[in-house]
Amino acid sequence: MADVAVIGVGRIGLPLALSFADRGLSVIGVDKDADRLGAIRERRMPFQEDGAQELLDRVDLTLTERVADAAQADAIVLTLGTPSFSHIEIDIRDIRSALDDLLPHLRLGQTIILRSTVAPGTTDFVAGYLAKHRGFVIGEDVFVAHVPERIAAGRFLEEIDTLPCIVGGVGERSGEKAAELFGVFAAPMVQTSPVQAELAKIWTNILRYATFALPNLLMMDCEQYGANVFEVIDLINRDYPRGGIKSPGLTAGTCLRKDFAFSEERSNAPGMLLAVSRVNESVPLFLVEGMKRRLDGLSGKKVAVLGLAFKADTDDERDSLSHKLIRLLERELADVAICDPHVVTPTLPLEEAVAGADAVVVATNHPEFSGLEKLREVAAIAGDPLVVDPWNAFGAAQVFAYAKELTAMSATTS
């Protein structure tokens, strides 16, 4: 017997499993990815997460590819992928598959917790599925809850003890059992209903996705009117008590890009969140079109793309708009050179990527691509390329400008 099993030891599940083990719980980790399990057995983190390697070095997990083995634990936490179909329909096949594997082996008193992002009503579906196929009385025989994951990549070990832990139990006892498990962490517990827990998680991500769409749309408007988006943002925010617009960038990542669909599937305002998605998804094309105008086409031009990860200081490429940007550049017959020191995908060193480049695009605002000194370094290697910096990573406050112009401007202001 084990205290807890975590089904899916990826970017959400593995740090959670390690943290449970670090609090003294016996933990089973389940995953069908043999390469991932092999890396964990060799005590190698299969992805970047601050502090997780130190945990992996000192704690032990029981690892298995069999979902049914999770039923040996008193509590089972599902951290499975929950994508959406292209028809704006939620895909719960992985959750159903895991439940089917578990059904013959579940026993009285166990707790099943959904940690993945799910559509409203999914926790009640899981409870109903268990009741239908095994006859369990939920909240008495077994316990079902949603405890959504809201931790940012790279901050797991900090935020697992600080972010309020939302617990949506199917019945009061389910909420109590889930809170008892997650009570090994220091975070405050907030009990609510399953559907409110589901909505809180979904709309946390929708809020961020919509918030970042506004400055991206503003960036496109400023290009249309010949204005500087960073100066306009400063005018909006400076000493204004009702300001607060964010800065533009390539807004993506697997959570932000898909989670609006969990609301859109049954939305009372269909299309509203699709429009938000279209704004963010349009940024790569906006950048490519801006380069085409300034360079008189991109065929045969060398374009250095700095960054493949979807956000700074992470190795996570899932749903990164950098890949879309690269595909669009290749369709224009540009010669693309890529640099990202964080990701597993092989890329070039910075010097090789930018040497002889006609354009340099900051696609991810990694620290390695930030600051005026880095801009001067790029200019010294590449000469006078067009610099495309929607993040303002270099700090020159220009989305499109030539390197010599930017370095001259920075010299006069420094």
Which residue has 């112009």 as its token pair?
405
What's the rounded Cα separation, in Å, for the pair 327 and 348? 17
Q: Output the pLDDT for position 128.
A: 98
For residue 86, is pLDDT > 90?
no
For residue 414, is pLDDT > 60?
no
Q: Residue 156: CB partners within 8 Å, gap ≥ 6?
A: 15, 16, 19, 49, 50, 51, 52
* Average pLDDT over every residue of 290-301: 98
The number of residues in the chain equals 414
Q: Output the pLDDT for position 51.
A: 97
What the chain holds in terms of domains, given with CATH numbers, is 2-192 (3.40.50.720), 203-413 (3.40.50.720)
Which residue has 């963010």 as its token pair?
280
For residue 87, is pLDDT > 70?
no
Q: Output the pLDDT for position 258.
A: 78
SS3 content of the chain, % helix, strand, coil (to 5): 45, 15, 40
What's the rounded Cα separation, in Å, for the pair 138 and 221? 53
Which residue has 């620290």 as its token pair?
367
* Cα within 13 Å of Cα(3), Cβ side: 17
Pull the structure tokens for residue 107: 């026993």
For residue 188, is pLDDT > 70?
yes
* Cα within 13 Å of Cα(232), Cβ side: 21
**Residue closest to 378 by CA, chosen among 329, 322, 324, 339:** 339
Q: Output the pLDDT for position 82.
A: 80
For the chain, give the percent of residues with pLDDT over 70: 98
* Average pLDDT over every residue of 280-285: 97
Tell me how crowded residue 194 is: count the other CB atoms within 10 A of its CB: 27
Encode pLDDT of 1-42 as tens digits: 899 999 999 999 999 999 999 999 999 999 999 999 999 999
* Average pLDDT over every residue of 356-374: 97
For residue 411, is pLDDT > 80?
no
Termini Cα distance of the chain: 64
Q: Output the pLDDT for position 254.
A: 78
Q: Output the pLDDT for position 85.
A: 64
Encode pLDDT of 45-66 as tens digits: 999 999 999 999 999 999 999 9
What's the rounded Cα separation, in Å, for the pair 43 and 40? 5
Encode pLDDT of 208-227 as tens digits: 999 999 999 999 999 999 99
Give ∠ CA 285-270-282 in degrees, rounded to 5.
5
Which residue has 């979904």 as its token pair?
202
Residue 121: its H or E element: none
What's the rounded Cα separation, in Å, for the pair 17 and 52? 10
Q: Output the pLDDT for position 410.
A: 67
Task: Judge contact between 358 and 339, C-beta under 8 A.
Answer: no
CA dihedral 167, 169, 173, 179 (to 10 degrees): -20
**Residue closest to 114 by CA, chosen among 85, 141, 75, 140:** 75
* Average pLDDT over every residue of 134-156: 95
Output the average pLDDT for the chain.
95
Encode pLDDT of 252-278 as tens digits: 887 887 787 788 888 888 889 889 999
